[in-house]
């Protein structure tokens, strides 16, 4: 028993590192209260080490803590992804005027960021219903506080409160679903649930109810319509660093948990004769149709509402809802190609979305506004930032030769491979709608003259450097993407599935 | 199967009966000298009927939360103590880490001034 | 030796100019313009290599270059040309320096960015014409949108922003459906040949035509929508007047001269040979739209008050001819369509240049603002006369050759099998004489305005630079009109191959569509 736990701990090093970093960050906040940035450096190093530990786990596929958590390429992929996002966000925080004004509480800020990262790491690996709920709660609780971090601003507090209320409701509903599922199958680990479902004796109605309830929890985390109501307000009210973190990492963790749950618990391992790379769901319940509807709703609503937004943060919030919709398309296919497409999309999405948020933050630092009118003539006030925003937005639209196109290409190609043609067409039409609002911003940046006598904007070199760092992969992966495709394909392996 | 729950139901019934009976006995045989103070509902010294919008000092919540956090700790300590011999050094180390983490929390609370009332 | 990579060299040569421009001080306008002009001229010179070493006898693609780009999906960097691409590439490399030269002083702000955008656009266009891989084609096709968006939106006229967004949205809508169709085609083709996904055009040619009719129809429509928007075919043309009128002159020249040809090029290169069965079914419908476009575009041109808008609508009419020529599916029609693509590029490009030149002088394009211009600008008047007549289709000039062949093709077409197509299209020729000559009369003749002032400006005749820009176009206008064989011989092989494919399909069709079991046509599911 003890030995088993010790072995498990040795497979649990990324999370252990994060836990230690969390404790160090709390103490660091107390010790270095005069130089709170030090805590940021500590957190940065801690997360870097945990990514390093995660990289060491590449190729491992096993389960630790009696099946609570899986350590497999799929989880490691998301740990590296989420860890990288966390690193970039810490770098963002050093530049953010919003965060830097709250010197006294900055220690908590960084330690909670680490706690949230830890929660997401656990979400990526959770292979037990209970672990799933616990990891979700850890992530959510940290993010509630961080969303309200700039508590002097009324909209930040409002964001936090709304986030808590929606979060509490949906995780409550999800927990109820989990308990029904446990009642139906008598198991809490995914593999056990799968075995029970494979017997085919489960009541379909109860299973449907349980799954819908659980989807509520997932939908809330990835902000899928109709569980998205919190997203715009929270994204707008929260400090922009947190908004960026939520929009990429939180979504990635949600997707990781959801994909694992659906794939491992619902896979029909006895099905034979399927084309390679495809799998079947246990009979009687087609959850993927449910997700397909969710996906269409999510991208359509996200895109249509984004068209009317004038606040850039809010616009990006709706755009991120739409992107969740695109990514859901990859989950509904029930094929390895679809999942690989989702993973590829996430890599690409990381760079382009964080890049767009960085530009918004840099401009907000200088002008104090996120309004679309602020961006008038930005392309001339600061050409580099303007060009960077063009690249990020073109990529978010999914046009070649940027990385966003590759993401969409693989998604569409997986859909068409599995004959989901109508869904691909809906996705394509949605991309056209999305172009409209992205181009609105570009239009303001380049085709309109600055308001008043606004002169050139000069940004500090470190910020511009980070911008270029995010910009290069956005273009590079549009032209040469074999490495990310290979990485994604190698990361499909989940523990418990041959 | 429900048979197994019979003792619990009986226990609940006895408890309810006991409460009702004792209350009634008090009502019948106790002396009654009513005054305004005595007639009002007992609320641990607080005024029973006030506006619902009243704000409590956040300090009450702080103390309550801290109490719960450090009180729950004992719940974990108890089973550990019982099977201490069985767990050996590994068990000792585990509990050491647990206490250490709690200690960090304690320091944090202390330094942030949550333990000071004023 | 150089033939191995000449296509890539031509395609990416303009990028060299962009790199050079990065190092030029943005205040030094003359140097920037010179770098842009010389780069595009050098590209033209390089493309002449293609012309001189192109073998008209060889069937299939020449100067092919191929290497693996994305191994997993069988996507390769695959370029090469046949007679059709050759003419289009030459047209592109020919028009770009002329557009830059002809509008030397029209652009006043951000000249460096402007020149870079034009060069980037040139690479995009050349890439589209040279790609032999659908994926590569799509990348170039989309990449072209961005410079064009900025060219219209930044350096355009009053409503440039509206026009730019409309142009972007319209074309993107079409092309995304095409992307879906490209991927679908790759998969269906892979099921057919039992192999892996591919976007290699040469492989798809042999495979796609065996797909069942329903699938072919859907994919044809997805491709065709994208191309029809680009052409633009009636009723998808509404973006065109906005974009053309608002774009700066060089933008209009390239837009009319080359970009519109991509639509018709796409029909000949992709739609028809990939989906021959679908082509046979759909050709009459598209031809109806083409004829409607011919007549509609011409009628709308007549009533325009803005010269540029008139030229823009005349494009709708002229491109209708090209589409009709393609879907007549006769050798003459196809040849006419291809040569007419070149003609339209030259004539309409020149018309836009001329409109731009007079606009630069007086800052108005309203026909009613002019009158008696011929007396003040005799050289300009002669050029406009020659080009208008070429556009109308006067025998001896280039327009006649194309229109004649197209009408002949439409008349003889067995696929359309109705003389009404040719009859109505011929109406378009007459109407084109009406709107162009009427416009010419109102602008050029009549009394000179009081004091020679037009919109408050005086008129001066063309400068030497402008004449130098126009002379090469006139040269080709006459050349094609007198001896079209130079160019027709280049495209003969493509036209013949495409038409024969349709003819064999048509003859073979009844047998292949009978219920008889045929292993190669098994359902896909």
The answer to whether C310 touches C389, Cβ cutoff 8 Å, is no
CA C86 – CA C487 distance, rounded (Å): 10
Q: How far apart are CA A3 and CA B90, in angstroms?
A: 9
d(CA A381, CA A386): 8
Cα A38 versus chain centre, distance: 27
> The tokens of A286 are what?
């087609």
B117 found inside a domain? no
Interchain proximity A431–C197, CB inside 8 Å: no
Identify whether the C-beta of residue C84 lies closer than 8 Å to the C-beta of residue C338.
yes
Average pLDDT over residues A109-114: 92
B90/A5 touch (CB, cutoff 8 Å), yes or no: yes
Give the nearest chain B residue to A5 (CA atoms): B90
Of A412, A448, A486, the CB nearest to C183: A412
CA A163/CA C68 separation, integer angstroms: 49
Nearest CB partner across the interface for A482, out of C71, C161, C180: C71
One pLDDT digit (tens) per residue for chain B, 118 residues: 678 889 999 999 999 999 999 999 988 888 888 888 777 777 777 777 777 787 778 888 888 888 888 888 888 888 888 888 887 888 888 888 888 888 888 888 888 888 887 7
Determine whether the interchain pair A447/C168 forms a contact, defined as Cβ–Cβ distance below 8 Å. Answer: no
**Three-state secondary-structure class, residue C24:** coil
What 3-state class would DSSP assign to C457?
strand
Read off the tokens for A465. 């450097």
Cα–Cα distance, A31 to C398 (Å, whole number): 85
What is the pLDDT at residue C524? 42
B118 assigned to some structural domain: no
Whether C481 maps to a domain, the answer reads yes
Q: Say whether the ipTM exceeds 0.85.
A: no
DSSP summary character for residue C200: B
d(CA C132, CA C274): 13
Q: Which chains touch B (3 or more CB pairs under 8 A)?
A: A
- The DSSP secondary structure of A374-413, one letter per residue, reads GGTTHHHHSHHHHHHHHHHHHHHHT-TTSHHHHHHHHHHH
Number of alpha helices (DSSP H) and beta strands (DSSP E) in chain B: 4, 0
Instruction: Say whether C165 and A439 touch across the interface (CB within 8 A).
Output: yes
Q: Report how far residue A177's alpha carbon sits from residue C308's, in angstroms, rounded to the nearest whole number.
A: 66
pLDDT at A284: 62
The string of pLDDT tens digits covering residues A18-31 is 999 999 998 888 88
Q: What secondary structure letter does DSSP report for A492?
A: -
pLDDT above 70 covers a percentage of chain A that reads 98
Are A485 and C72 in contact (CB < 8 Å)? yes
Q: What pLDDT does residue C193 have? A: 64
Q: Are A466 and A358 in contact (CB under 8 A)?
A: yes
CA-CA distance, C95 to C342, in Å (whole number)?
11
The predicted structure's pLDDT at residue C161:
81
| Cis peptide leading into residue A85 (ω within 30°) | no
pTM of the model: 0.80
Cβ-in-10-Å burial (0-12, 13-18, 19+) of A270 comes to exposed
**Burial group, residue A285, by CB count within 10 angstroms (0-12, 13-18, 19+):** middle
Q: Within a domain: residue B78? A: yes
Q: Do A447 and C154 touch (CB under 8 A)?
A: yes
Q: Is residue C400 part of a domain?
A: yes
Q: Confirm whether C334 is domain-assigned.
A: yes
Could you tell me the residue range of the domain that residue C321 belongs to? 275-370+378-436+463-505
Contact A404, A472 (CB under 8 A): no
CB contact under 8 Å between A27 and B108, yes or no, is yes
Identify the residue whose tokens are 């109605």. Answer: A205
Residues of A in contact with C70 (CB under 8 A): 481-482, 485
CB contact under 8 A, A2 and B111: no
CATH of the domain at B64: 1.20.58.1610
Tens digits of pLDDT across chain C (525 residues): 677 788 888 888 888 888 888 888 777 888 888 888 899 999 999 888 888 888 888 878 888 888 887 766 778 888 888 888 889 999 999 989 988 888 887 777 788 888 888 899 999 999 999 998 888 898 888 888 888 888 888 887 778 888 888 888 888 888 888 888 888 888 877 777 666 777 888 888 877 777 888 888 888 888 888 888 888 888 888 888 888 888 888 888 888 888 888 889 999 988 888 888 888 888 889 999 999 999 999 999 988 888 888 888 888 889 998 999 998 888 888 999 999 999 999 999 999 888 888 888 888 888 888 888 888 888 888 898 999 999 888 888 888 888 889 988 888 888 877 888 888 888 888 888 888 888 888 888 888 877 777 777 878 888 888 888 888 899 988 898 888 888 888 888 888 888 888 888 877 754 344 333 444 444 444
Please write the tens of the pLDDT for every residue from A134-165.
999 999 999 999 998 888 888 888 889 999 99
List the beta bridge partners of residue C65.
C79
Q: Rounded distance, CA A203 to CA A454, Å?
A: 66
Question: Is residue C410, in this structure, part of any structural domain at all?
Answer: yes
Interface test with C, best of A439, A440, A445, A483 (most C CBs within 10 A): A439
Is the CB of residue C174 less than 8 Å from the CB of residue C225? Answer: yes
In-domain check, residue B80: yes
Q: Give the per-residue pLDDT at A21.
A: 93
With an 8 Å Cβ cutoff, are A27 and B101 in contact? no
Q: Does A307 touch chain C (CB under 8 A)?
A: no
Per-residue pLDDT, averaged over A302-323, amounts to: 90
B90/chain A closest Cα distance in angstroms:
7
Binary contact (A2, B108; C-beta < 8 A): no
Note the pLDDT of residue A473: 92
C169 and A432: CB-CB below 8 Å? yes
What pLDDT was estimated at residue A241?
A: 92
Contacts of residue B31, Cβ cutoff 8 Å, sequence gap at least 6: none
d(CA C391, CA A259): 61
> How many CB atoms sit inside 10 A of residue C508's CB?
12
Q: To the nearest whole angstrom, how far is the Cα of B46 from the nearest Cα of chain A?
A: 29
Dist. CA C177–CA C230, nearest whole Å = 13
Structure tokens belonging to residue A168 = 């509490």
Neighbouring chains of C at 3+ CB pairs under 8 Å are A
Distance CA A342, CA A330 (A): 6
Chain C contact residues (CB < 8 Å to A) = 70-73, 138-139, 142-143, 145-146, 149-150, 153-154, 160-161, 164-165, 168-169, 172-173, 176-177, 179-180, 183-184, 186-187, 197, 525
Q: Is the pLDDT of residue A283 over 70?
A: no
Whether the bond into C422 is cis, omega within 30 of 0: no
Chains B and C: 3 or more CB pairs within 8 Å of each other: no
Range name among A5-9, A423-427, C151-155, C449-453 with the lowest pLDDT average: C449-453
Angle at A339 between CA A335 and CA A342, to 5 degrees: 145
**Contact call for residues A182 and A190 (beta carbons, < 8 A):** no
Nearest CA in chain A to B100: A23
Domain count, chain C: 1
């Amino acid at each position: 028993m003890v030995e088993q736990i010790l072995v498990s701990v040795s497979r649990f090093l990324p999370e252990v590192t994060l836990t230690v970093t969390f404790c160090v960050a709390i103490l660091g906040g107390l010790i270095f209260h005069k130089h709170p940035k030090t805590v940021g450096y500590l957190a940065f190093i801690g997360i870097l080490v945990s990514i390093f530990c995660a990289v060491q786990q590449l190729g491992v596929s096993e389960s630790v803590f009696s099946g609570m958590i899986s350590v497999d390429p799929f989880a490691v992929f998301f740990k590296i992804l989420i860890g990288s996002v966390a690193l970039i966000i810490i770098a963002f925080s050093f530049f953010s005027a919003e965060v830097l004004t709250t010197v006294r509480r900055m220690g908590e800020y960084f330690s909670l960021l680490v706690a949230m990262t830890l929660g997401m790491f656990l979400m990526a690996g959770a292979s037990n219903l209970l672990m799933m709920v616990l990891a979700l709660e850890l992530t959510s609780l940290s993010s509630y506080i961080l969303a309200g971090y700039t508590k002097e601003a009324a909209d930040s507090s409002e964001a936090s409160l709304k986030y808590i209320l929606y979060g509490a409701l949906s995780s409550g509903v999800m927990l109820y679903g989990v308990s029904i599922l446990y009642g139906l199958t008598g198991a809490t680990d995914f593999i056990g649930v799968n075995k029970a479902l494979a017997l085919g004796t489960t009541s379909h109605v109860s299973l449907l109810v349980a799954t819908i309830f659980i989807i509520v929890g997932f939908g809330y985390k990835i902000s899928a319509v109709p569980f998205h109501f919190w997203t715009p307000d929270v994204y707008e009210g929260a400090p922009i660093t947190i908004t960026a973190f939520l929009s990429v990492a939180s979504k990635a963790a949600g997707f990781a948990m959801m994909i694992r749950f659906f794939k491992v618990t619902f896979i029909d391992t006895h099905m034979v004769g399927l084309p390679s790379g495809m799998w079947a769901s246990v009979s009687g319940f087609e959850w993927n149709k449910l997700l397909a509807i969710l996906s269409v709703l999510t991208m359509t609503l996200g895109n249509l509402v984004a068209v009317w937004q004038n606040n850039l943060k809010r616009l990006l919030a709706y755009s991120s809802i739409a992107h969740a919709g695109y990514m859901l398309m990859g989950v509904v296919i029930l094929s390895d190609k679809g999942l690989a497409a989702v993973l590829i999309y996430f890599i690409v999405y990381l760079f382009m979305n964080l890049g767009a948020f960085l530009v918004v933050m840099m401009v907000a630092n200088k002008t104090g506004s996120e309004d679309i009118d602020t961006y008038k003539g930005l392309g001339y006030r600061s050409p580099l930032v303007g060009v960077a925003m063009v690249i990020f937005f073109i990529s978010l639209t999914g046009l070649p030769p940027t990385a966003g196109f590759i993401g969409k290409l693989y998604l569409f190609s997986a859909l068409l491979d599995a004959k989901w043609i109508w869904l691909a067409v809906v996705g394509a039409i949605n991309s056209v709608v999305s172009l409209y609002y992205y181009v609105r911003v570009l239009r303001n940046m380049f085709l309109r003259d600055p308001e008043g006598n606004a002169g050139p904007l000069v940004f500090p070199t470190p910020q511009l450097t980070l911008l270029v760092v995010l910009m290069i992969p956005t273009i590079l992966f549009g032209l040469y993407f074999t490495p990310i495709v290979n990485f994604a394909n190698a990361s499909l392996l989940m523990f418990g599935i041959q | 199967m429900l048979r197994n729950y019979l003792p619990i139901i009986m226990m609940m019934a006895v408890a309810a009966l006991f409460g009702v009976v004792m209350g009634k006995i008090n009502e019948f045989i106790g002396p009654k000298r009513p005054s305004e103070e005595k007639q009002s509902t007992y609320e641990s010294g607080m005024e029973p009927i006030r506006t619902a919008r009243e704000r409590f000092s956040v300090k009450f919540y702080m103390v309550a939360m801290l109490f719960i956090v450090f009180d729950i700790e004992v719940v974990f300590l108890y089973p550990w103590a019982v099977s201490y011999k069985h767990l050996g050094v590994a068990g000792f180390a585990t509990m050491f880490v647990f206490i250490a983490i709690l200690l960090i929390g304690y320091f944090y609370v202390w330094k942030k001034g949550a333990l000071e009332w004023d | 030796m150089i033939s191995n990579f000449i296509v890539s060299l031509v395609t990416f040569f303009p990028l060299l100019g962009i790199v050079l421009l990065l190092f030029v001080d943005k205040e030094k306008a003359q140097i920037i313009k010179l770098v842009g002009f010389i780069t595009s001229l050098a590209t033209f010179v390089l493309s002449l290599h293609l012309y001189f070493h192109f073998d008209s006898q060889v069937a299939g693609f020449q100067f092919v270059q191929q290497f693996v780009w994305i191994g997993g999906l069988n996507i390769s960097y695959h370029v090469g040309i046949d007679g059709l691409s050759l003419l289009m590439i030459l047209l592109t490399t020919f028009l770009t320096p002329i557009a830059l030269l002809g509008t030397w002083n029209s652009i006043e702000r951000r000249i460096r960015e402007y020149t870079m955008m034009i060069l980037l656009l040139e690479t995009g266009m050349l890439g589209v014409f040279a790609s032999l891989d659908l994926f590569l084609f799509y990348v170039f096709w989309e990449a072209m949108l961005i410079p064009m968006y900025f060219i219209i939106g930044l350096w355009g006229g009053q409503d440039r922003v509206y026009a730019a967004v409309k142009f972007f949205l319209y074309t993107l809508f079409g092309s995304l459906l095409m992307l879906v169709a490209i991927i679908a085609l790759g998969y269906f083709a892979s099921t057919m040949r039992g192999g892996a996904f591919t976007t290699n055009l040469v492989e798809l040619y042999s495979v796609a035509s065996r797909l069942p009719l329903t699938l072919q129809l859907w994919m044809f429509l997805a491709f065709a929508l994208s191309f029809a928007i680009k052409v633009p075919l009636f009723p998808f043309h509404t973006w065109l007047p906005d974009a053309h009128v608002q774009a700066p002159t060089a933008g209009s020249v390239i837009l009319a001269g080359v970009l519109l040809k991509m639509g018709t090029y796409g029909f000949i290169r992709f739609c028809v040979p990939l989906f021959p069965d679908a082509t046979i079914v759909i050709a009459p419908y598209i031809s109806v739209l083409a004829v409607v476009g011919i007549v509609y575009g011409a009628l709308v041109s007549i009533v325009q008050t803005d010269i540029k808008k008139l030229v823009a609508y005349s494009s709708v009419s002229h491109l209708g001819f090209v589409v009709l020529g393609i879907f007549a599916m006769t050798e003459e029609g196809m040849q006419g369509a291809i040569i007419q693509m070149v003609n339209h590029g030259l004539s309409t490009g020149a018309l836009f240049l001329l409109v731009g030149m007079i606009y630069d002088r007086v800052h108005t394009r309203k026909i009613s603002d002019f009158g008696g211009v011929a007396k003040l600008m005799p050289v300009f008047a002669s050029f406009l006369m020659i080009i208008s007549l070429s556009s109308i289709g006067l025998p001896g000039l280039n327009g006649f050759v194309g229109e004649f062949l197209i009408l002949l093709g439409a008349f003889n077409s067995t696929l359309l099998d109705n003389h009404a197509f040719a009859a109505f299209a011929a109406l378009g020729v007459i109407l084109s004489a009406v709107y162009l000559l009427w416009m010419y009369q109102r602008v050029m003749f009549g009394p000179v305005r009081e004091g020679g002032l037009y919109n408050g400006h005086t008129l001066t005749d063309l400068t030497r630079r402008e004449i130098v820009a126009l002379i090469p176009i006139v040269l080709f206008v006459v050349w094609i009109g007198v001896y079209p064989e130079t160019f027709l011989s280049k495209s003969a092989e493509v036209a013949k191959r495409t038409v024969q494919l349709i003819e064999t399909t048509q003859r073979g069709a009844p047998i292949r569509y009978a219920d008889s079991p045929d292993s190669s046509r098994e359902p896909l599911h």
